[in-house]
């Protein structure tokens, strides 16, 4: 199966599919953080939409996308207001950025591909996004933490929990400030990546 993971520089999801025996690629404006385990070059560094022009959606058996969530998710709604306070009024530039992020998200959902997963945290009501197929948590896949994540799926089944963990902490909520904070908070955890690769591979091998 040919798989591409959009908006991923970590290589976590891509490499999970490679280990399962698939030809998987990643795409992001940032360089990859880890190579493919088979030693092949498997990262397109550049704009996602330029990548899909060169390698059209129809050429992939599965597309997984992790688009930016800063202006779409519940936890980031404060950024839509000046100074982060609703009483201070809307920050028009950020509302425009939210609308652009929403348009990009909807464009991903409309990709002409048989099997698709678009991943994002729970969106706020102003994002006007459709309801996801399911919400998952890291603690359902062997990680003792909480981070509600929505999956918008097409042509593939919802993920089934693989390892329920009793101890659950909101690690990403307490992530230390710094230039890598957003990237550290958004990385897909290995247990979830492995579940994607194993469960969706079994269905469509």
Which comes out higher in pLDDT, residue 176 or 39? 39
User: Across residues 97-114, what is the average pLDDT?
Assistant: 96
User: Across residues 78-84, what is the average pLDDT?
Assistant: 76
Confidence of residue 169 (pLDDT cuts 50, 70, 90): confident
User: Across residues 81-102, what is the average pLDDT?
Assistant: 83
The pLDDT value given to residue 178: 47
Where are any strands of DSSP class E within 10-122? 23-28, 43-45, 62-65, 116-121
Query: What is the total residue count of the chain?
Result: 205
Whole-prediction pTM: 0.89
Query: Which residue ranges form the domains of the chain, and what is each CATH number?
Result: 2-73+101-204 (3.40.50.150)
Which comes out higher in pLDDT, residue 45 or 175? 45
Q: Which of 22-31, 94-103, 133-142 has the lowest mean pLDDT?
A: 94-103
> Taking 80 as the threshold, does the pLDDT of residue 28 lie above it?
yes
Which comes out higher in pLDDT, residue 84 or 127? 127
Which comes out higher in pLDDT, residue 44 or 172? 44
The pLDDT value given to residue 204: 53
Which comes out higher in pLDDT, residue 70 or 138? 138
> Taking 70 as the threshold, does the pLDDT of residue 172 lie above it?
no
Angle between helices 12-19 and 190-204 (to 10 degrees): 40
CA distance 170 to 55: 38
The pLDDT value given to residue 132: 97
- DSSP bridge partners of 159: none
> Taking 50 as the threshold, does the pLDDT of residue 181 lie above it?
no
From residue 189, how far is each of 97, 112, 144, 149 by CA, in Å?
Answer: 27, 27, 11, 11
Q: Which of 39-53, 81-95, 176-190 has the lowest mean pLDDT?
A: 176-190
Confidence of residue 168 (pLDDT cuts 50, 70, 90): confident
């Amino acid at each position: 199966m040919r798989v591409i993971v959009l908006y991923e520089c970590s290589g976590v999801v891509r490499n999970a599919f490679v280990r399962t025996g698939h030809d998987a690629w990643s795409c992001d404006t940032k360089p990859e953080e880890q190579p493919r385990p088979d030693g092949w070059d498997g990262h397109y560094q550049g704009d996602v939409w330029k990548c899909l022009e060169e390698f059209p959606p129809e050429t992939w058996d599965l597309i997984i996308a992790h688009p930016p969530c800063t202006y779409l998710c519940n936890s980031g709604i404060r950024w839509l207001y000046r100074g982060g306070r609703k009483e201070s009024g809307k920050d028009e530039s950020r509302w425009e950025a939210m609308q652009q992020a929403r348009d990009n998200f909807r464009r991903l959902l409309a990709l002409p591909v048989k099997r698709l997963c678009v991943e994002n945290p729970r969106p706020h009501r102003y994002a006007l996004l459709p309801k996801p197929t399911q919400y998952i948590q890291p603690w359902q896949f062997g990680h003792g933490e909480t981070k509600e994540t929505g999956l918008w799926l097409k042509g593939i089944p919802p993920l089934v929990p693989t390892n329920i963990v009793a101890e659950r902490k909101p690690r990403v909520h307490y992530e230390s400030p710094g230039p890598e904070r957003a990237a550290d908070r958004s990385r897909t955890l290995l247990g979830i990546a492995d579940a994607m690769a194993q469960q969706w591979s079994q269905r469509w091998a």
